[in-house]
Amino acid sequence: MGHGDLALAVDEAVRAGAAYVDARHVADEAERIVARNGQVERVSHDTSEGVGVRALVDGAWGFGCAPGLDPAAIAGAARTAVGIARAAATLRRAPVSLAETPPAHGDYRTPCVIDPFTVPTAQKCDLAVRASEAAHQSPLVRSSEVFLSARRQWKRFVSSEGANATHDLVVTAAGLNVVVAEGDEVESRSYPFEAVGSYRAAGYEFIEGLDLVSAAPRVVDEAIEILRAPDCPAGRTTLIVGSAQLALQIHESCGHAVELDRVLGTEVSLAGTSFIRPDDLGRLAYGSDKVSIVADATCEGGLGTFAFDDDGVAATRTPIVERGKLVGFLTSRETAAQLGLDARGVIGGTMRAESWNRFPLIRMVNVNLESGEGSLEDLIRDTDDGMFVDGFRSWSIDDRRLNFHFACQVAWEVKNGRLTRRLRNPVYTGVTPEFWRSCDAVAGASEWRLWGLAQCGKGDPAQLVGVGHGAAPARFRNVEVGSGHRGGRS
Amino acid sequence: MTALIARDDLEARIRAAVAQTGGERLCAFAVIRSRSVTRFADSSIHQAFDESNIRIEFRSRGHHGVSVTAATSALDAPTLAQTAARVIATAPAQSPPLSAETSRDQGTHDDSGWSLATTASSHEERADALRAAFGTAAPAVSFAGVFGARTLSFLHLRRDAPASFARISKAYFNVFGVGPRGDEGFDGCAHRDIAELNIDASVRTATERALRASAPKRRVCRGPIEAILAPDAVEELMSWAAPIGFGGKMFVEGAGFSAGRLGEPMFDAALTIHDDGLSDDPLAVRMPFDCEGTPKRCVTLVDRGRVVGIAHDSTTADLAGTVSTGHAPHDDVEAGPLPLHLFIAPGDASVDDLVRGVEHGLWITRFHYVNGYVNPREGAMTGLTRGGTFLIERGKITDPIETARFSDRFPAIFSSIARIGAERRLIPSWLHDAAGSVVPAIHVRALNLT
């Protein structure tokens, strides 16, 4: 389907009375391979294609969609969107207005060395099986699971303002998870991230680079060490958070908190709101002066990397926190206009929909903690008494993004500048601004890594999209830690 | 909402693709989803949309521990045939059949869980209903939430066998009353028939809770506290227990809290839970067969405090040496087979009775962001209160409290139950479109606040 067919749908909605219309033709393709205990368990291949039309009528939004590429059905979706918007307009307080932005134009492709869909499935199955087999080198291994996945999303965006642009986004991923058991004790460890694996906007070369087969025995050894480690003690301590865990910390306690729809109260249902108020912009001490966070939709390899969003706004690198102070939000054209941020130049495109059949929402792009100085080793060497944690296991935060709780896979006691012994079942909790204000060091660029979270959920019904988070290990003072053993009951 | 395709047309197209492809083990599972949603905030509609999708999954059945699927949203003959052929090309040629019995299509046509009124619900009708409900509410409270209607159709077929078809609907209304300082009060309702929803009552309850939550808040100490868990709070915990305690995947891995403990007393003897996708209970969500085509079985998961059953698909059943209970997940559910239609046996207490039975404790309307992966082997979970959490003192609900976090083990929470409510509600689950639990309020002796 070309620009012309989508433009017809846009015209249809305009004729029906829409003041603004956009149409997205999206074709998704996904492949996933799972091997368990040395055998292929599942091979799946999915395709999905259709068109979604969003219309603004009488100051209210409506959205309709059609699977496939039948022109009549797409025109019907356009009319549906207009009809829905008219109904919505009967119960609204203020009409929607949109910040002015130049119409999106151009084509964007994820840089790929090896297109993952050109690699034979049998080759991928073989890799998954070998990695899974490599994990079974100890009688304590109860199960191993390896997955490889690839996803392509091709999209054309056309609007009544003249936008016409395409995306060809590719994400690859892989992961290994082992479960070890001794007596009634069970422990799991995963590589390279946490249980859902590691994702990157890249080709199959990313999977090859993970070297799952070589990593498997090491992951098993770690799992057994953790299984036999003493429980994490409870108390307050200095916490050094590894890059992978910090990615999730940023996601939950910063990324979601600065989504402007949450700040303005339109995501109360399901997701919740934010402790941040609109007038905190430029005032709120979000963290210490070591903390600078950017929303960067332009960095290579990120799951939140693109050329324009589903509002037709060009990708930007927007400061969110500068040396501790809140200076930006994640915005849409609608929310930016509500706060007048477009006039102040504080707008970055972050609207994305899961696929052709979903209404776009403000979503994180790549929300990254900027690097500081030195290495992880330097951070540890500079710490007399504390703990190092990494690799997330569970996560929970309240509806205002204040009160968080994380369980991690890996923990080490730090004594006199050295990692001394492993600890098991580590959890840590805190309150968002207090935690970030307690940050007194962030490691340097050599330790900085960009991670991909493939399934960030938001909306009602929930939509899952990929987001990125870059971070180097960082140190936080006076953090409450404890053990997830017995669920926290004494 | 309009039907994307008629059942007979869909079946004919899929049959043609299966026949053209020729694989003897090939079967197909199609899901048609239609959803019409009105989202509102600040008592104003801010997102309204119709979503639809078709997912036609071809699966190579009967391989030992191997599932090969290919799915498409396209309905044209070449794409369907190509998708089906991909399965045949990828499936291992020589793998032993599963020892456990797999699907046996029944040729059923089941739409007893479907309501025309729900499918036909329009945006205009929902906007009118919201306007009326908000119009009678206290002006100090605004409302945010979702009013939706969804229809799902399922079709499973294999060559030379009658197809199984089911259609279900679900209407749901979740509302947060938001007080002048942002304090929230929640209520919700769900039913297969949208005409059965009482959204006025939910708006009234959410208003009352929001206003009550606007009073000065008190803090409660860390540690165990008695609590009445309202049905939404109970369902949230149950939805997490499904993968880590009652699902076949973690069970066969030995990683879930029930593994190796079947038959042992784990909960209070007052607790009995079963999963039933075939229930005729008008509150229930029906789903008579799974994506392998296996008819659902009614599985008693907890019988008077003892875990006695697990939800299996053909793969986990084979590993566990049993038969599938008809709980094969769609391909996008990584957690494996899950019980999606839980029923907790009711007690005899009214809500007032429950409250009167608490000397010092909490009323918890619902939880937020529970996570059950803290330590699945122990059933350890954490989460927060939301939507109206109040102290109960000497048998009366009194003041609101600050948002509280609990960290506890699922078995421990339900190991000492004071009473169970008589009234049960359908609470949709986040686990799946077609999931929903029928649960009462439960008075537990100790919930560990951290």
Q: Give residue B84's pLDDT band: very low, low, confident or very high (50, 70, 90).
A: confident
Nearest residue in chain A measured CA to CA from B3: A66
The three-state secondary structure class of B73 is coil
Tell me the pairing of strands A426-431 and A474-483: antiparallel
* Helix (H) / strand (E) containing A150: strand A141-159
Q: What is the CATH number of domain A3-227?
A: 3.30.2290.10
Cβ–Cβ gap A396/B178 under 8 Å: no
**Residues in A touching B388 (Cβ below 8 Å):** none
What does the pLDDT look like over B255-280, one tens digit per residue? 899 999 999 999 999 999 999 999 99
Tokens of A114: 């090896």
* Helix (H) / strand (E) containing B313: none
Give, for all 490 residues of chain A, the pLDDT tens digit: 777 789 999 999 999 999 999 999 999 999 999 998 998 888 888 999 999 999 999 999 999 999 988 999 999 999 999 999 999 999 998 999 999 999 999 999 999 999 999 999 999 999 999 999 999 999 999 999 999 999 999 999 999 999 999 999 999 999 999 999 998 889 999 998 765 678 999 999 999 999 999 999 999 999 999 999 999 999 999 999 999 999 999 999 999 999 999 999 999 988 899 999 999 999 999 999 999 999 999 999 999 999 999 999 999 999 999 999 999 999 999 999 999 887 666 678 899 999 999 999 999 999 999 999 999 999 999 999 999 999 988 999 999 999 999 999 999 999 999 999 999 999 999 999 999 999 999 999 999 999 999 989 999 889 999 999 999 999 999 999 998 876 655 5
Distance from CA of B84 to the nearest CA of A (A): 11
* C-alpha torsion angle, residues A362, A363, A366, A369 (rounded to 10): 80
Cβ–Cβ gap A486/B380 under 8 Å: yes
pLDDT value at residue A196: 63
Nearest residue in chain B measured CA to CA from A406: B374
Nearest-angstrom CA–CA distance, B385 and B401: 10
pLDDT value at residue A309: 96
pLDDT value at residue B424: 97
pLDDT at B214 over 90: yes
The domain segmentation of chain B, as residue ranges, is 7-194, 223-449
Cβ neighbours of residue B392 under 8 Å, at least 6 residues apart? Answer: B226, B228, B355, B358, B360, B361, B362, B363, B398
pLDDT at B358 over 70: yes
The answer to whether B73 contacts chain A (CB < 8 Å) is yes
**Residues in A touching B144 (Cβ below 8 Å):** 265-266, 268-269
Of A92, A268, A395, the CB nearest to B371: A395
Distances from the Cα of A242 to the Cα of A71, A252, A291, A366, A450, angstroms: 51, 16, 15, 18, 12
pLDDT at B101 over 50: no
Nearest residue in chain A measured CA to CA from B49: A63
- What integer is the mean pLDDT of B63-74? 70
Nearest-angstrom CA–CA distance, B391 and B404: 12
Distance from CA of A469 to the nearest CA of B (A): 21
Q: Give residue B216's pLDDT band: very low, low, confident or very high (50, 70, 90).
A: very high
ipTM over 0.95: no
Cβ–Cβ gap A40/B92 under 8 Å: yes
Q: What is the CATH number of domain B7-194?
A: 3.30.2290.10
Tokens of B428: 């949709």
Q: For chain B, what is the radius of gyration of the CA atoms?
A: 23
pLDDT value at residue B352: 96
Cβ–Cβ gap A91/B127 under 8 Å: yes
**Residues in A touching B373 (Cβ below 8 Å):** 195, 393-394, 407
Cβ–Cβ gap B254/A270 under 8 Å: no
Distance from CA of B143 to the nearest CA of A (A): 9
pLDDT at B94 over 60: no
The domain segmentation of chain A, as residue ranges, is 3-227, 235-488
pLDDT value at residue B364: 98
Distance from CA of A394 to the nearest CA of B (A): 5
Report the share of chain B in percent with pLDDT over 90: 74
Closest C-alpha to A118, from A150, A74, A72, A141? A150
DSSP string, B250-277: HHHHT-STTTT-TTSB-S-TT--EEE-T
**Residues in A touching B54 (Cβ below 8 Å):** 67
**Residues in A touching B407 (Cβ below 8 Å):** 405, 427, 484, 487-489
